[in-house]
Structure 1
Amino acid sequence: MRRTNFIFKLTMLTAVLFIFISGAPSINGSFPAFAEEKIKFPLNTNDSFAATFGEYRSSHIHSGVDLRTKRRTGFPVLAPSNGQIVNLYGDENGYGFMLTFKADSGLIYKFAHLASFENDKFKLNGFVKKARAKANRRFNFDIDLSGENIKVKTGEIIAFSGDTGAGPPHLHFEICGPDGYKSSTDKPEKDFEIFNPFNYISPETAADDTPVNIASILLIPQDENSMIEGKPMNAYFSFKNDKTNDSAPDLNIKAFGKFKILARAFDENKIFEQNESKMGVYKIELKELFSERADGTLYSLSFDSMDYNSSRMPEIIYDMYYSNISAGNFYYKLFYESADLNAAPPRFIKSSAGGGVIEIKKGRKKIFEISASDYSGNVTKKIIEIEGAEPVQIKTKTVSPSGGTLKAENKKTRKPNAKKSAKKETAGPADTRISVEYLQNVILFKLKKTTRGGNAQIFHGAAPLKMFEHEGFQCFYSGYEKIAAAPEITVTSPDGKPAKKYILNLFKITAGETVKIHSDSLWSIRINPSAATSGAFYAGEAVLYPAGSDPAKTRAAFGEMFFSRPLSGAKIYYDTSEDAGINPKCGIYEVYSKKNMFIGNSSEEISGRRYMCASMKNFKRLKCAVLKDEKPPILKISKKSAARISKPFKYSGKAETDFLSFNLFDSETGINKPEIKFYIDGSQSGNYEYFSSSLLNCYLYDLKTGSNLSPGTHKIKITAADNAGNVSFYEKQFKIAR
């Protein structure tokens, strides 16, 4: 043991750098190589960064860096190198105003959320006006300027920073390969490479001396025989920041079996005052120390570049469920899983030995190191010692379903130093004594402990289920395959009452397969085939039904369902072919205790049957209903705009400030944006913008000619519809001052 401590201390003192092994090729092949030449910082001010390359987003991986702009707009955006302006793009909710710049080196630079484009030298506003006039639509525009030969020198002003598309004020800056300049939409013609801008900007502009924070881990058992502190359930462990003994591990855990690890980690930069941003890490690695293998690296991630296709799949890197419910905390998977096990991992995953799964055998001890760094090289390491042992056990008697005594069974004590496990989702069953809980590796049947003494037992067939105690419950558990194959259990009572038999509605789902939630249901679910995971999912109700009964199930009802693992994406279907009550005002809602949230009402025909469907993301619990929305949207002019047209309207001399503002929203099904119509004197105009799902601005000039309305009386009309087809309108006569 002394020799082990000596080696451990030596490792802690000498290990100062990550060890990354070369990665597999991109899942979409190779791309042209570009020299990482340093470029000019695109702003004259440096207020640090609000987001880094590779960060978690709910629908994609962040493909650039976000530069802070002191919470203000209007800072000049500078050309980082010689090149030309090749594209102008604009939308209301997304990139906002974006300029695309092609460097002489062939690299593509993108600048998004701009307040405006440069217009003194390069006259860029003229291109925007022309595109809007041609389309008679303010947004979206996508203007190809590659044939205009707009040459720019390093340091020249090309735009001004803003907050369009997504605030607060900041500049989004990304760098990609030559095929990326036509990627304003989510459907590029071909895949392309995206580069980490930190590889190109000067180190002094990205100064940072704040260590990365590895806050906690979540240890996930992979089967029913994998135990953490005597329990087959996820366990959450936080790292303490006040560690006094540098030679001791940061965590000591008793566990055996197979596990995967999630790590909650983030980076901060405290050099800059008032920078409260929590950003993603640049590198993260899981390694087994003193491994029998030459290289103990189990998983290694390094964000230098990524291909576009991979950037649309954040589930490759992040646990989508925990990252989503934790308000922006990043839960990194320290393992790689894919729907296609034969596909090579993306280029940013440098190593994934055995998929990142760790195995601890009884009587063995392993030591692991998690290390993470930012681009400035600030490294944080955490050491985890996992011992393949169980807590001390207590002998109890097990009663058979027929009342006889079986051989003694081991019942585990509460762990003395265990951290609280991750919160699980539960629901009360028909028998109020029993609750059912769906974990990733096992299904739990939980019985509340009583003060009267004695222990109930649960059997699957003739075999008693294994049991542990947790938070005042006796928790009986089994693997999913066993229960799905024979979903009947027997519950014995310690007070001599007859045993009771129950059945559970449990079914298996394979990604890409459409499955009914019960045999006669109008509801079906299909897990996205691109889900970055292998193996089947299980889903079921938290309700136990008396065995032999035929529980009445309304075909149109969708009971509360729980899943063995969080789903990153799925589609819900409702068969409308046999429901005469369905009309266009109906939609699929996710049902909560106090709120029903509309999730969709699109229509699909499958095998000659018509279905209403809706997509869901990042969930582990689901309850749906078909509900009807008969309330029209809220459409109301703002007080300031109402005051402007209560008397003759005076133009300001700046066309972009001459608009009327309206509150437009629908709390039921949401606004159907394509159905917003704006009319001036009976002629339809596309000169409006709708953003943040609540604010509508209607501009009072002719989009085609750029001319203001003539003096005198005019009439405006606005119609808006929600996704159920309910319509609201506003119309008003007003005068233009002479």
Structure 2
Amino acid sequence: MLKKILIFLLLIILQASGKDSSDYFFPLKESKNLTSVFGDHRNFHFHSGIDISTFGKTGYKVFACQSGWVFRIYCSFWGYGKGLYLKLDDGRYAVYGHLSKFAPKIEKLIREKQIQNKSYKLNLFLEENRIRVERGEMVGYSGEAGAGAPHLHFELRDSQNRPLNPLTHGISVPDRNSPVFRKLLIKPEDKNSCVDGENKTKIYDFAYDQKKNTYYLKQTPTIWGKVGLEVCCYDRMNKKYFGIHNLEAYLDGELFFSVQYDTIDFESSWMVELDRDFELRKKRNLNFYKLFVESGNSLNLYQTKSPRDGLINTSQVFESQGHPEHKIEILAYDASGNSRGAEFFLLFNRRPEILSLVNSESDYGTKVEGILKDDSNIKFITFEQSPVENIDWLKKEFVHQKILTSLSDSLANYSFMWKSEDKDPYLVKIQAEDGDGLKSDYRYLLINGESVENQNPQDMTDFDFKHSYKDGYLNVDLSFNKILQKEPEVKIKNGLFNFDPISFVQKDEKSYSATFLMTETKSEGILLLIDGMTIYKDMISLTRPVPLALVVPDGGGKAFSLDSMASIRISPGLVYKSINLEIEKKDPPQKIKHKVIGSLYSFEPEDIPFSGYADISLFYDEEDTNPDKLAIYELNRDKWRFVGKEKDQLIKKVSGKVRYLSEYALLEDSNPPEIRILYPQNGKSTRRRKPNIKVKIKDDLSGFGSEEDIEVTLDGEWMIPEYDPEKTILITTPNNNLSYGWHNLKIRARDRMGNLNVVEGRFKVIK
């Protein structure tokens, strides 16, 4: 109890020490409601500030959080849209994003620069103290420029330009809500590790105990080996959901992992994809925090118990403590110090193994002796029998079963016996189950196999195989066209050496699965070697090449599709763990608006983020194709996303750069953007001498690549185009009052593929 109290007091101290003593003026007066917090996930970067709700509206005054001077001004159609950077007198920086307008003294300078450059895009750095601002002074108006709905993005950065969590560095918001737990994930970290008896990732739902104000699991997962925990949880505020400020995980009361999101370097911000579960977010849009440090993750956010890096190794704990059940506690905190925990137990137990089976005949029936391995007592042993020709498994009863000898604490020699009058060959399969419900793999035996005769000697024994590679392991699934007398001998030949599998399992009467540890970095010339005996006692020796394209963290690699029409090249240092590149040709979707050139290609693995950009290429051979209109697009949830259009027409190749792998195809885009003048309409009149000219500009495929792709002129003079690519709306306003009478409007829009549309209109200003 005393230990619990000390831990609780320590956590309170740590929470308090996480906040500094700065006191900043809140940037909005109308709202302290947040829509996103520091450290939230964004594609390949952490959210580096807080987002403040403006209730779907624009135009609220935005204030300087502290005295300082305007350091930088940025304008773009994308990202922060209109962004303002202040250098504060305390040495820090403040950043304001998605503004609709700047304060008049800043707005005047910006418009002059944009008109002078005839470019909306601006990245202007100012001299020190050229434009001073005081604490609480209005510096702009909230808007929705760039990405997202109307809101204000606000950041604090230290003197080295590193983002700081505003909520622990002088900005506060009212928050009394505690975090919420939703799901727990347990992931085996190697092929020798299991969750509930399987080498598979498992996800469990948390339940809430209202009396104890804590979350728990309704079942007790069983683990063995080295596993990593992940948790799906979030904070609540104003009926919205946010990321967590810090997480702590305890095993039997001892801290083994913690993370706290207070500051981040831009250079390593992409590692948010290693901090969270990239695969689950990409495939199922789930946000899981890893309670371990992924290989390749060098973020300075974590505290772990060395050398485990947050991973739980059951053999280490089991040897030191001996008991099988262990308590896990996970605590989640928001930046205001509100916390909530999840408590559950993990059972450390490996599933039973049947190491060997040998059969013989006795006066009482068929007898089998086997060596079984288990950390707890074997509770059940099941036995099924099937004829060889037409597989039909039936459960049978042993007439006798006993332990012959106990070889060790976890090994025992068992004897089974059953009655069978069959003289024909038949198959049996045996499975062991322990008291925790964990089951062994089936072990198979061929009984009376010596009496099998081959009725068709011309029928040769052959097999098919599929292979996969993940986390340094090569898995090979074998499927034979005939039953074998016994398990075959399977090896991998790599160069001059042969390698045995680290695990070998018979999956059914004709199928097997072998797993190899691939420590070699060379993937060319790998052969699969199989030696065995058919059911007819014919010896077989088979060889197959295993196509691999391995890429290791400190080396690059490349791969081609079987038809050589798709390729990928990865430079050294882009992957954080070894991967095998595969490219599969697929049929393009049937219902599609745009012309697909060639085929759709699936690039694997899709669950690995890259630290930089890899190069993918697709080739074309259609004679009626216009190469200038070709580009690579990603197909994601039935939508196309532009990837790249770099071309080598000599070899008919189009290339692009990607941060992860997915499905890609070549598409031809020959359609120009759509332009429609909304106000003032062509030929109509307006009484406004400075009308907000509104235009719909939309492209249905390649989109716009730069701010220069859209141009507006009024009476021949360049206008500042305020374009929202999400709403596909452009608004521009004359600098000065227009004269009465007719005025000529001209809009030009060019997409990434060079398709140009020009629309002209006239409107009249009347009194």
User: Shorter-chain TM-score: what band?
Assistant: 0.7 to 0.9
CA distance in 2, matches of 1:731, 1:574: 39
Deviations 1:21-59 (CA, angstroms, capped at 9, x unpaired)? 99xxxxxxxxxx997422222222343322111111113
One of 63, 76, 81 as aligned partner of 2:61: 76
- Which residue identity lines up with residue 200 of structure 1 in the other structure? H
2:292 is aligned to 335
1:373 is aligned to 333
1:390 is the counterpart of 2:426: no
CA distance in 1, matches of 2:38, 2:718: 39
2:111 is aligned to 129
Alignment of 1:592-603 (within 5 A): 597-603=641-647
- Which residue identity lines up with residue 590 of structure 1 in the other structure? E
One of 225, 236, 243 as aligned partner of 2:203: 236
- Which residue identity lines up with residue 311 of structure 2 in the other structure? V
Alignment of 1:613-624 (within 5 A): 613-619=655-661, 622-624=662-664
Deviations 1:362-397 (CA, angstroms, capped at 9, x unpaired)? 785444332221112122222343333134675679
Stretches of structure 1 that go unaligned for 5 or more consecutive residues are 1-8, 23-32, 180-191, 270-274, 291-295, 419-430, 544-555
One of 287, 299, 302 as aligned partner of 1:349: 302
2:223 is aligned to 255
What's the offset of the Cα at 1:536?
A: 0.7
Alignment of 1:313-332 (within 5 A): 313-327=271-285, 329-332=286-289
Change (3 A) 1:266 1:604: farther
- Which residue identity lines up with residue 24 of structure 2 in the other structure? I
What's the offset of the Cα at 1:195?
A: 1.7
1:229 and 1:253 in contact (8 A); partners too: yes
2:697 is aligned to 663
Change (3 A) 1:591 1:495: farther
1:293 is aligned to none
What's the offset of the Cα at 1:730?
A: 2.3
Residue 40 of structure 2 aligns to a residue in which SS?
A: coil
2:732 is aligned to 699
1:514 is the counterpart of 2:477: no
1:302 is aligned to 260
Deviations 1:192-247 (CA, angstroms, capped at 9, x unpaired)? 32222123336xx4232211123222222222111111111111122211377899
Change (3 A) 1:505 1:208: same
Alignment of 1:333-732 (within 5 A): 333-337=290-294, 339=296, 345-351=298-304, 353-354=306-307, 355-361=309-315, 365=324, 366-391=326-351, 460-461=490-491, 466-467=504-505, 476=513, 478-479=515-516, 481=518, 486=526, 488=528, 505-511=547-553, 513-517=556-560, 521-527=564-570, 531=574, 533=576, 535-540=577-582, 560-563=602-605, 565-568=607-610, 570-574=613-617, 583-591=627-635, 597-603=641-647, 612-619=654-661, 622-630=662-670, 632-638=671-677, 640-641=678-679, 644-648=681-685, 650=686, 652-653=688-689, 655=690, 657-667=691-701, 669-673=702-706, 676-678=709-711, 680=713, 683=716, 685=718, 687-693=720-726, 695-697=728-730, 699=732, 701=734, 706-707=735-736, 710-732=739-761
Residue 605 of structure 2 aligns to a residue in which SS?
A: strand
Cα-Cα RMSD:
5.0
User: 456-465 vs 719-728, which deviates more?
Assistant: 456-465
CA distance in 2, matches of 1:312, 1:195: 16
User: 239-248 vs 44-53, which deviates more?
Assistant: 239-248
CA distance in 2, matches of 1:231, 1:414: 16
CA distance in 1, matches of 2:712, 2:601: 46
1:177 is the counterpart of 2:214: no
Deviations 1:547-593 (CA, angstroms, capped at 9, x unpaired)? xxxxxxxxx87754432853346524227699987822222233579
One of 128, 146, 149 as aligned partner of 1:165: 146
CA distance in 1, matches of 2:527, 2:430: 23
Change (3 A) 1:564 1:129: closer
1:49 is the counterpart of 2:34: yes
Change (3 A) 1:592 1:196: closer
2:278 and 2:607 in contact (8 A); partners too: no
Alignment of 1:258-297 (within 5 A): 258-269=226-237, 275-289=238-252, 296-297=254-255
What's the offset of the Cα at 1:540?
A: 3.7
CA distance in 2, matches of 1:95, 1:223: 42
CA distance in 2, matches of 1:637, 1:318: 43
- Which residue identity lines up with residue 685 of structure 1 in the other structure? W
1:37 is the counterpart of 2:12: no
Change (3 A) 1:618 1:646: same
CA distance in 2, matches of 1:564, 1:100: 37
Residue 116 of structure 1 aligns to a residue in which SS?
A: strand
What's the offset of the Cα at 1:714?
A: 4.7
1:547 is aligned to none
CA distance in 2, matches of 1:672, 1:455: 64
Residue 390 of structure 1 aligns to a residue in which SS?
A: coil
2:397 is aligned to none
CA distance in 2, matches of 1:414, 1:163: 61
CA distance in 2, matches of 1:441, 1:395: 35
Change (3 A) 1:47 1:490: farther
Stretches of structure 2 that go unaligned for 5 or more consecutive residues are 354-380, 389-424, 440-461, 493-499, 586-597
- Which residue identity lines up with residue 113 of structure 2 in the other structure? A
Q: TM-score, with normalisation over the residues of structure 1?
A: 0.72
CA distance in 2, matches of 1:304, 1:248: 26
Larger radius of gyration: 2
Change (3 A) 1:624 1:78: closer
CA distance in 1, matches of 2:300, 2:745: 54
Change (3 A) 1:158 1:198: same
Residue 129 of structure 1 aligns to a residue in which SS?
A: helix
CA distance in 2, matches of 1:696, 1:502: 59
1:28 is aligned to none
CA distance in 2, matches of 1:71, 1:592: 28
Residue 133 of structure 1 aligns to a residue in which SS?
A: helix
Deviations 1:494-546 (CA, angstroms, capped at 9, x unpaired)? 9999999976644312245131235883533244656573x311244789xxx
1:588 and 1:601 in contact (8 A); partners too: yes
Select the structure that is richer in strand: 2
CA distance in 2, matches of 1:596, 1:644: 33
CA distance in 2, matches of 1:208, 1:60: 26
CA distance in 2, matches of 1:456, 1:671: 63
- Which residue identity lines up with residue 195 of structure 1 in the other structure? L
1:216 and 1:237 in contact (8 A); partners too: yes
Residue 45 of structure 2 aligns to a residue in which SS?
A: coil
User: 483-492 vs 569-578, which deviates more?
Assistant: 483-492
Residue 628 of structure 2 aligns to a residue in which SS?
A: coil
What's the offset of the Cα at 1:477?
A: 5.3
Q: TM-score, with normalisation over the residues of structure 2?
A: 0.70
- Which residue identity lines up with residue 39 of structure 2 in the other structure? G
